[in-house]
Amino acid sequence: MTRTSVHLVNRPSGMVEPSDFEVREGDIPSPAEGEVLVKVSHISLDPAMRGWMNEGKSYIAPVGLGDVMRAGAVGEVLESGAAGFQKGDWVQGTLGVQTHALVKGNELTKVDTSSVPPERYLSALGMPGLTAYFGLLEVGALKEGETVVVSAASGAVGAIVCQIAKLKGARVVGLAGSEEKCAYLTDTLGIDAAINYKTENVTKAMAAACPKGVDVYFDNVGGEILEAAMSLLARHGRIVICGAISGYNDFGAIRGPRNYMNLLVQHGRMEGFVVFDYHDRYGEGVAQLAKWLSEGKIEAKEDVREGGVRRYVDTLNLLFSGENFGKLVLKA
Amino acid sequence: MTRTSVHLVNRPSGMVEPSDFEVREGDIPSPAEGEVLVKVSHISLDPAMRGWMNEGKSYIAPVGLGDVMRAGAVGEVLESGAAGFQKGDWVQGTLGVQTHALVKGNELTKVDTSSVPPERYLSALGMPGLTAYFGLLEVGALKEGETVVVSAASGAVGAIVCQIAKLKGARVVGLAGSEEKCAYLTDTLGIDAAINYKTENVTKAMAAACPKGVDVYFDNVGGEILEAAMSLLARHGRIVICGAISGYNDFGAIRGPRNYMNLLVQHGRMEGFVVFDYHDRYGEGVAQLAKWLSEGKIEAKEDVREGGVRRYVDTLNLLFSGENFGKLVLKA
């Protein structure tokens, strides 16, 4: 058996191409003292990955040229040199786009797959769930009775934001890019209104769906939808710019929201955040999300793709074409 | 004796013209029960006045066509029909651009002019001082050792922001539009660096003056200076968009900060505020500012212009050409 790993060899400009990566085969290493060898099971594919491929300062260091592409993943311990881990344990961590990962024990978290499928730790019980939880409740400071607008609402983070907002007694308006996704939002997740941003006039539809204005806008996409939400901002409204789901292929093309002075008019706030800011409260977040899941109060939806790590680029690009439906996961 | 009052009769587009206002003469009214007749002494001229002339939703209702132009002012009570006020008292309130104001007693605040000139209640002890105080310390949440950048730094609000920031142990960088103003900032107010935005490359000069980045940017002007500060934002940096000093003549020409995504990169926050949000804490702010003034720890600078209310438009426009130096005040 060999280890297959996917390495960044070229920094893409615009869309990611298969030629930006190189697939390498090698021997499966053995763990040294303090290390754990993990057989990677499910790999999380996220829009944020696109940003990690860029050079320069961001909220997290770029992936180095030649390095295994960074990725959150879950897997099973094959061999352990670290206290607290043994063969057969399931773990979660930044395992990378590869079949086998050698990771320090203190960088892994054990997960319980007895009643929950492993991929759930990459969706509702992982970074997307935590991003939704802390982004909406802490950065957005959502209060009962307020109106929340969520872009990419059927996505990994957005769908959890929608459901938590409903649980907290908010009016929830979600944007998505197909009728099927919009129907899922209103019929399955039970939000108050869904807007198909590909076919509707976003500003008009949002105004109609938010008669009292927008108290919290959970921003994923910038551009026209951000400006629409900004124009409808309620007094003391909050715009949460969410790091984990910002999948910009071209930062240069970003324009500032022309109407940002509405922050002054409405005494509003626009704040960027990444979930790592809440690292010391992950336990609280996971416990609450697991409770809601087990009680059937929120539901998770994963879109698990087969094909292994060699399918990384093609599968990742489904995110940018909007073809995935639910948290995109690649089986290693 | 008659009352002279200045009425908005046309909503200006771009610069304010004398023809946008009409000066009217009339009898001096008598106060009814609960009212106070005030002889207006000093009128505050503020960039925010330009916004009040525009139609449409803002952080405060526009001045109605035909109405006396709104203005903060101080004056002396001539006749009182309200409990708690008597002839000879000095008061502060929204008295308008006129020689005599009839105001409800509960909309006035008594001020002590025994040791402080009346115009100081329009600068360091008035809205500009309170705006600086709450904007920097509450919205900006300034901490010791941080770097603060202030635009319009020699202006009514900016000069107080600079001085409070120095008192709090911050590194302070101010922008102003002349060598004389820059010298005042460094030599008289003792800030760490001043940038002449008319002659220097703002981005380069700001980068050189802020080697650790910008923790708090107190924004007055938007545009290039905002983008420079945004590009230099430190981790968890804050941008305070200050309502009281936003003197835009043309809201349509505003463009959003192209690099607003730096809020995400740096987990930063951009927040609009107007001082009225802190109305219930004015007493605390004035007491602290008065203490600092009396101890000589901060200094106030007023630019008092003669000529009476008929000179309102010409004097106001000094703000937009940058010709005033210190808080602009018109003697009624």
**CB contacts, 8 Å: B258 with chain A:** 254-256
Does pLDDT of A56 surpass 90?
A: no
- List, for residues B34-57, the tens digit of each pLDDT value: 999 999 999 999 888 988 999 876
Let me know: does A219 contact A239? Beta carbons within 8 Å: yes
**CB contacts, 8 Å: A246 with chain B:** 261, 264
**Per-residue model confidence (pLDDT) at position A265:** 83
Chain B residues with CB-CB distance to A under 8 A? 57-59, 222, 241-243, 246, 248, 251, 254-274, 277
Does pLDDT of B330 surpass 90?
A: yes
Q: Which residue of A has its CA nearest to B259?
A: A256
pLDDT band at residue B10 using 50, 70 and 90 as cut-offs: very high
Query: Could you give the maximum distance between any two Cα atoms of chain A, in Å?
Result: 63
pTM metric for this prediction: 0.85
Query: Please, what is the Cα angle at A101 between A95 and A103, to 5 degrees?
Result: 75
Let me know: does B313 contact B7? Beta carbons within 8 Å: no
d(CA B54, CA B36): 29
Terminal CA-CA length for chain A: 14
Nearest-Cα distance to chain A for B219, in Å, is 11
Question: Which H or E run contains A264?
Answer: helix A262-265
Supply A190's token pair. 């039970």
The mean-pLDDT minimum among A220-229, B89-98, B228-237 falls in A220-229
pLDDT band at residue B252 using 50, 70 and 90 as cut-offs: low
Question: Which H or E run contains B21?
Answer: strand B21-27
Nearest-Cα distance to chain B for A201, in Å, is 22
Alpha carbon distances (Å) from A98 to A26, A108, A328: 11, 16, 16
Let me know: does A7 contact A22? Beta carbons within 8 Å: yes
**The residue to which tokens 């050189």 are assigned:** B208
d(CA A48, CA A319): 10
Q: Which residue of A has its CA nearest to B278?
A: A267
The CATH code that applies to domain A127-277 is: 3.40.50.720
pLDDT band at residue A103 using 50, 70 and 90 as cut-offs: very high
Q: Which residues, in sequence order, are CB contacts of B190 under 8 Å at separation 6+?
A: B166
ipTM of the complex: 0.80
Does pLDDT of A274 surpass 60?
A: yes
Q: Phi/psi zone of residue B34: left (φ > 0), alpha (ψ -120 to 50 degrees), beta?
A: left
* Domain over A2-123+301-331 is classified CATH 3.90.180.10: yes
d(CA A177, CA A154): 9
User: Could you count the other beta carbons within 10 Å of the beta carbon of residue A304?
Assistant: 15
Nearest residue to A291 via CA among A118, A164, A137, A128: A164
d(CA A285, CA B177): 50
Q: Which residue of B has its CA nearest to A254?
A: B258
Averaged pLDDT score across all residues of chain B = 93
Supply A51's token pair. 């940003």
User: Could you count the other beta carbons within 10 Å of the beta carbon of residue A223?
Assistant: 15
- 3-state DSSP call for residue A298? coil
Strand partners, A217: A149, A239
Q: Considering only the beta carbons, identify the residue of B59, B241, B264 that sits closest to A272.
A: B264
- List, for residues B277-314, the tens digit of each pLDDT value: 899 999 999 999 999 999 999 999 999 999 999 999 99
pLDDT band at residue A260 using 50, 70 and 90 as cut-offs: confident
Q: Which residues, in sequence order, are CB contacts of A26 under 8 Å at separation 6+?
A: A2, A3, A5
Q: Are B267 and A241 an interchain contact pair (Cβ–Cβ within 8 Å)?
A: no
Q: Which residue of B has its CA nearest to A139?
A: B269
Query: Could you give the maximum distance between any two Cα atoms of chain B, in Å?
Result: 63
Residue ranges of alpha helices (H) inside chain B are 48-52, 127-134, 156-167, 179-183, 202-209, 223-231, 262-265, 282-294, 312-321
The count of CB pairs under 8 A between chains A and B is 101
The mean-pLDDT minimum among A245-249, A301-305, B106-110, B227-231 falls in A245-249
Rounded CA Rg of chain B: 20
d(CA A227, CA A13): 26
**CB contacts, 8 Å: B254 with chain A:** 258, 260-261
Q: What is the mean pLDDT of residues A311-324?
A: 91
**Per-residue model confidence (pLDDT) at position A60:** 78
pLDDT band at residue A259 using 50, 70 and 90 as cut-offs: confident
Nearest-Cα distance to chain B for A106, in Å, is 26
Nearest residue to A42 via CA among A114, A123, A128: A123
**Chain B interface, best mutation among A236, A246, A265, by max B CB count within 10 A:** A265
**Per-residue model confidence (pLDDT) at position A47:** 83
Q: Is B148 exposed, middle or buried (0-12, 13-18, 19+ CB in 10 A)?
A: buried
B253/A22: higher pLDDT: A22
Q: What is the mean pLDDT of residues B19-29?
A: 97
Nearest residue to B199 via CA among B173, B220, B178, B222: B178
**CB contacts, 8 Å: A260 with chain B:** 254, 256-257, 260, 270
Residue A26, phi then psi, degrees to nearest 5: -160, 175
Does pLDDT of A150 surpass 70?
A: yes
Chain A residues with CB-CB distance to B under 8 A? 57-59, 222, 241-243, 246, 248, 251, 254-274, 277
CATH topology of domain B2-122+301-331: Quinone Oxidoreductase; Chain A, domain 1 (3.90.180)
**Per-residue model confidence (pLDDT) at position A247:** 45
Share of chain A above pLDDT 90, in %: 79
Q: Which residue of B has its CA nearest to A264?
A: B272
**Per-residue model confidence (pLDDT) at position A252:** 56
Does pLDDT of B28 surpass 90?
A: yes
Let me know: does A152 contact A242? Beta carbons within 8 Å: no
Query: Where do the structural domains in chain B lie, given as residue ranges?
Result: 2-122+301-331, 127-277
Supply the DSSP symbol for A127.
H
Nearest-Cα distance to chain B for A180, in Å, is 31
Does pLDDT of B332 surpass 90?
A: yes
d(CA B111, CA B327): 18
d(CA B310, CA A111): 76
Supply the DSSP symbol for B10.
S
Let me know: does B331 contact B304? Beta carbons within 8 Å: yes
Q: Are A264 and B274 an interchain contact pair (Cβ–Cβ within 8 Å)?
A: yes
Q: Phi/psi zone of residue A88: left (φ > 0), alpha (ψ -120 to 50 degrees), beta?
A: left
